[in-house]
Amino acid sequence: MSKARLLRLLWLTGLVGVALAVTGGLLAIFGVSPAQGFGAILRGAFGDAPRILSVTAFWVPLTLAAAGLVISFTAGLWNIGVEGQIVMGAVAASWLALKLDAPQGILVPLEILAAMAAGGLWAALTGVLKTRGKVHEIFGGLALNNLAVILTNYLISGPWQPPEGGTFRGTQPFPDKAMLPLLGESRVSPISLLITGLAILAVFYLLRGTIWGLRLKALGKSPRAAFLLGVSSERQALLALMFCGALAGLGGAVRVLSWFDSLRQSISGGIGYLALLVVMLSGFRVLLVPFISFFFSAVLNGSISLQLRTQLHSSLGGILAGILVLLVLLFGEVRLRRIFPRRRRE
Amino acid sequence: MRVELRDIRKHFGAVKANDGISIELEAGRVYGLLGENGAGKTTLMKVLSGFHKPDSGEIILDGEPAHFGSPAQAQGSGVGMIYQDPLDIPAVRVVENYLLGHDSQVTLRFAAAVRELKEYAGQLGFAVNPQEYIENLSLGERQQLELIRLLALGAQVLVLDEPTTGISAEQKELLFSSIRKLAKDEGKTVILVSHKLADVQDLCQHVIVLRRGKVVGQADVPCPTDELVRMMFEEIPPRSQRPSQVQEGVVLELHEVSITTEHLSLEPVDLVVRPGEVFGLAGLEGSGQRQLLQACARLIPVRGGQILLGSQNVTRWSYQRLRESGVAYVPAARLEEGLVPGLSLTEHVALTSEETSFVIDWPALHQETRRRIDRYQIVGRPETRVDALSGGNQQRTLYALLRSPLRLILLEHPTRGLDVRSAEWIWQLLFEHVGSGGAILYLSADLDELVERSDRIAAFSGGVMSRVVRADQATAEELGHLIGGGR
The reply to whether residue B331 touches residue A217, judged by beta carbons under 8 angstroms, is no
Residues of B whose CB is below 8 A from A73 = none
**DSSP character string of B411-426:** EESTTTT--HHHHHHH
Residues of B whose CB is below 8 A from A226 = 340, 351
Judge residue B397's burial from the number of C-beta atoms within 10 Å of its C-beta, 0-12 exposed, 13-18 middle, 19 or more buried.
buried
In this complex, how many residue pairs, one in chain A and one in chain B, have their CB atoms less than 8 Å apart?
72
Check CB contact of A316 with chain B, cutoff 8 Å. no
Check CB contact of A224 with chain B, cutoff 8 Å. yes
Q: What pLDDT does residue B34 have?
A: 85
Q: What pLDDT does residue A338 have?
A: 52
Among B13, B340, B401, the residue with its CB nearest the CB of A226 is: B340
What are the sequence ranges of the domains in chain A?
A: 33-311
Among A209, A225, A228, the residue with its CB nearest the CB of B359 is: A209
* Cβ atoms A51, A306 nearer than 8 A: no
Rounded to an integer, what distance in angstroms lies between the CA atom of residue B459 and that of residue B279? 11
Look at residues B34, B50, B3 and name the one whose alpha carbon lies nearest to residue B187: B3
Q: What pLDDT does residue B41 have?
A: 87
CA distances from B394 to B250, B332, B399, B441 (A): 32, 11, 9, 21
The reply to whether residue B343 touches residue A217, judged by beta carbons under 8 angstroms, is yes
Q: B199: distance to nearest CA of chain A, Å?
A: 33
> Closest residue of A to B299, CA-based?
A228
What are the sequence ranges of the domains in chain B?
A: 3-233, 238-326+403-487, 342-402
Q: What pLDDT does residue B285 have?
A: 66
Q: B324: distance to nearest CA of chain A, Å?
A: 8
Sign of CA dihedral A99, A103, A106, A111: positive
A323-337 residue pLDDT tens: 888 887 777 655 555
Rounded to an integer, what distance in angstroms lies between the CA atom of residue A158 and that of residue B409? 62
The reply to whether residue A209 touches residue B360, judged by beta carbons under 8 angstroms, is yes
A167-221 residue pLDDT tens: 667 888 999 999 999 988 889 999 999 999 999 999 999 999 999 999 999 999 9
* Cβ atoms B73, B150 nearer than 8 A: no
A11-35 residue pLDDT tens: 878 888 888 888 888 888 888 888 8
Judge residue A334's burial from the number of C-beta atoms within 10 Å of its C-beta, 0-12 exposed, 13-18 middle, 19 or more buried.
exposed
The reply to whether residue B340 touches residue A225, judged by beta carbons under 8 angstroms, is yes
Mean pLDDT along residues A80-97: 96
* Cβ atoms A169, A156 nearer than 8 A: yes
Check CB contact of A236 with chain B, cutoff 8 Å. no
DSSP letter at B378? -
* Cβ atoms A79, A137 nearer than 8 A: yes
Residues of A whose CB is below 8 A from B355 = none
DSSP letter at B385? B
Same fold, B3-233 and B238-326+403-487: yes
| Domain boundaries B3-233, corresponding CATH code | 3.40.50.300
Quick one: how far is CA A216 from the chain centroid? 20
Q: What pLDDT does residue A341 have?
A: 47
| Residue A78 backbone dihedrals phi, psi, to 5 degrees | -95, 90
Among B336, B351, B388, the residue with its CB nearest the CB of A215 is: B351
* Cβ atoms B438, B407 nearer than 8 A: yes
Rounded to an integer, what distance in angstroms lies between the CA atom of residue A121 and that of residue A89? 10
| Domain boundaries B238-326+403-487, corresponding CATH code | 3.40.50.300
Residue A281 has pLDDT above 60, yes or no: yes
Check CB contact of B342 with chain A, cutoff 8 Å. yes
| Residue B408 backbone dihedrals phi, psi, to 5 degrees | -150, 130
CA distances from A49 to A52, A195, A239, A291, A298 (A): 5, 22, 40, 19, 13
Q: B406: distance to nearest CA of chain A, Å?
A: 15
H runs (alpha helix) in A222-314: 223-228, 233-254, 271-282, 289-310
pLDDT along chain B (487 residues), means of 10: 92 80 93 80 90 92 90 88 74 80 67 86 84 81 86 90 76 89 91 80 91 88 75 54 81 93 82 94 81 94 92 93 93 86 94 86 93 90 91 88 90 82 87 90 85 89 87 74 70
The reply to whether residue A222 touches residue B356, judged by beta carbons under 8 angstroms, is no
Rounded to an integer, what distance in angstroms lies between the CA atom of residue B476 and that of residue B9? 41
Q: What pLDDT does residue B102 have?
A: 65
SS3 readout for B435-463: HCCCEEEEECCCHHHHHHHCCEEEEEECC
For the whole prediction, is pTM greater than 0.90? no
Rounded to an integer, what distance in angstroms lies between the CA atom of residue B248 and that of residue B235? 39
Residues of A whose CB is below 8 A from B340 = 217-218, 221-222, 225-226, 229
Of B482 and A296, more confident: A296
Q: What pLDDT does residue B137 have?
A: 81
Quickly count: other Cβ atoms within 10 Å of residue B90's Cβ: 11
Rounded to an integer, what distance in angstroms lies between the CA atom of residue B60 and that of residue B210? 20
Rounded to an integer, what distance in angstroms lies between the CA atom of residue A232 and that of residue A79? 19
- Check whether domain A33-311 has CATH 1.20.140, yes or no: no
Of A239 and B334, more confident: A239
Of A39 and B212, more confident: A39
Look at residues B58, B56, B61, B23 and name the one whose alpha carbon lies nearest to residue B41: B23
Q: Which residues contact B180 (CB under 8 A, 6 or more apart)?
A: B30, B203
DSSP letter at B401? T
> Closest residue of A to B362, CA-based?
A209
Query: Mean pLDDT score of chain A, rounded to an integer?
Result: 88
CA distances from B226 to A148, B232, B390, B415, B446 (A): 73, 10, 26, 21, 20
* Cβ atoms B415, B255 nearer than 8 A: no
The reply to whether residue B359 touches residue A214, judged by beta carbons under 8 angstroms, is no
**DSSP character string of A291-316:** HHHHHHHHHHHHHHHHHHHH---THH
Give CA torsion, residues B139, B140, B143, B149, to 10 deg. -110
